[in-house]
Amino acid sequence: MDLARTEVGRPARRHAARLGLLALPVAFFGVFFAYPVAAILARGLKVDGVWQFGRILDVLGQSDIRHVLWFTTWQALASTALTLLVALPGAYVFARYEFPGKQVLRAVVTVPFVLPTVVVGTAFMALVGRRGLLDELWGLRLDTTVWAILLAHVFFNYAVVVRTVGGLWAQLDPRQEEAARMLGASRWTAWRKVTLPALGPAVAAATLMVFLFTFTSFGVVQILGGPTFSTLEVEIYRQTSEIFDLSTAAVLTLIQFAAVGAILALHAWTVRRREAALRLVDPAQTARRPRGAAQWALLAGVLTTIAVLLVLPLAVLVQRSFGAPDFAYYRELTSDDSGIFLVPPIDAIGNSLSYAVVATAIAVLVGGLAAAALTRRDAGRFVRGFDALLMLPLGVSAVTVGFGFLIALDEPPLDLRASWILVPLAQALVGVPFVVRTMLPVLRAVDQRLREAAAVLGASPWRVWREVDLPLVRRALLIAAGFAFAVSLGEFGATVFIARPDNPTLPVAVARLLGRPGELNYGQAMALSTILMVVCAVALLVLERLRTDRTGEF
């Protein structure tokens, strides 16, 4: 009888424990994401306590706003199509070919994705902008054209396609395509009818993620677009910080929120299709050395693309940072005589590292608890719904979140406007989705019977986690922490509002230096961007050594 009661009560206890694990993540997102965003919307759309939803039609009726919406959508579609065109051959090469230096090159390919968008914009400014490499060699400037933005987006998102599509491609059994060819199908027909349908969910997921990142682009467009081009995110920033029109900013935030929600819903659907429909093999069984002139030519073409598109902008960035004799730009970082900062620019390095460490700790704690609660595939609707909500900070306007912090968190007991903790809290919001997406596949792979056996032997839930789960997911936890650190280090959209003048972060310092005329300011921006790039690259190389085939797509 007691055993029967135990078996009947165990599902209820597991459900209660899962909800308990979600308590902190729900509270964190409620206070530091939903509340600030709601505060901005209320400030912009409420007049005398009455919601003025008619303001939405008024804003949409403005020709300049319609142009911003059109350009945001058009450049996102163009950037996504160009990224797929350039990156799919790379995904195939990394999936099917073995060649010397492959692991190092995989890390090099991923470096742009974890770089702050400010650094990406700065690197392309050094390549295609005024006084850039192309300008000096051939008098060619692309910073006044949309091509600079499109190429920078391809640079930033190349790794999304290679990792997402290439990771699945490496696990597809090539014998299925070979069997189709033995039955008389041509190489193209076999690929189109056998491989492409299997890759479809991964290609769709990568397409949606690239579209999401380019649709909400801020740092790249802010630096390369100038006054000519503006996305929704840039326009929200302009309406908020320059024009102080919170009503228009609130409407644009709602539009972006709706678009992002639709994109994330489609992304979640494609991921579920991929998890449910495929039978995969060990990637070690599918890769081989290139054979024949055509395959070596494909490999050479991909390596050339990586060198020109990914490595060259970063190399030019480094070269520009050493453009003055005797390391003058780097030495000038220790001076506080520029009038731009209250402290020497070099202090931004320590500030960024300190903030990123605290943000990483918060993101790992909140994201780890959320991942543990989401482990079971039979989770309820509330748990599954919260899984989707965890991705919203990646797409909702970071500018809105940052300004919302200043408006919402200004009264006791949450009067944090003068507190340093605001910066790592905003950075942690972006880091949590990466922690969850990295840890969740590994946690789901842990045999549930191990947990149940430990519970039957009397272990508490905390001891089950410490003795069963933690040893198996320790490496994924380290990788999740590394990604949270990298994205926290480069967060710009929210930090630009809440970083104090005497404690600037590296991305904020770079943006301020680029916004001021003068060769010295430009050189210091290049030097700070190079330092930030090196820190992110080192973190990524460490991640690559820790990477396992069961720790998510990135």
Q: What is the pLDDT along the chain (554 residues), one digit of tens a residue?
A: 444 444 444 555 555 555 667 788 888 988 898 888 888 888 778 776 677 777 778 888 888 888 999 999 999 999 999 999 999 999 888 888 888 888 778 878 877 877 778 778 888 888 887 777 777 777 777 766 788 899 999 998 998 888 778 777 777 766 666 676 676 666 777 767 777 777 777 788 788 888 988 988 888 888 888 777 888 888 888 888 777 788 888 888 888 888 887 877 776 676 665 544 445 555 555 667 888 888 889 889 999 999 999 999 888 888 888 888 878 889 888 876 656 667 788 888 888 889 999 999 999 999 888 887 777 655 556 556 666 677 778 767 777 888 888 888 877 777 787 788 889 999 999 888 888 877 776 676 666 676 667 676 776 666 766 666 666 677 777 777 887 888 888 788 788 888 887 888 888 888 888 777 778 888 888 888 888 888 877 777 776 666 544 444 44
User: Contact 448/486 with Cβ under 8 angstroms?
Assistant: no
User: Contact 90/110 with Cβ under 8 angstroms?
Assistant: no
User: Contact 135/129 with Cβ under 8 angstroms?
Assistant: yes
Phi first, then psi, for residue 97 (nearest 5°) are -110, 145
User: Contact 438/552 with Cβ under 8 angstroms?
Assistant: yes
Q: For residue 148, what are the CA distances in angstroms to 101, 134, 206, 227, 506? A: 30, 12, 22, 14, 23
The reported pTM is 0.78
**DSSP label of 101:** T
The structure tokens listed for 46 are 């409420």
The structure tokens listed for 530 are 């190079």
**Residue 145, SS3 per DSSP:** coil
d(CA 443, CA 377): 11
Structural element, H or E, at residue 47 = strand 46-47
Give the number of C-alpha atoms closer than 13 A to the C-alpha of residue 26, restricted to the C-beta side. Answer: 13
d(CA 432, CA 491): 13
Which of 161, 160, 159, 155 is closest to 224 using CA atoms?
155
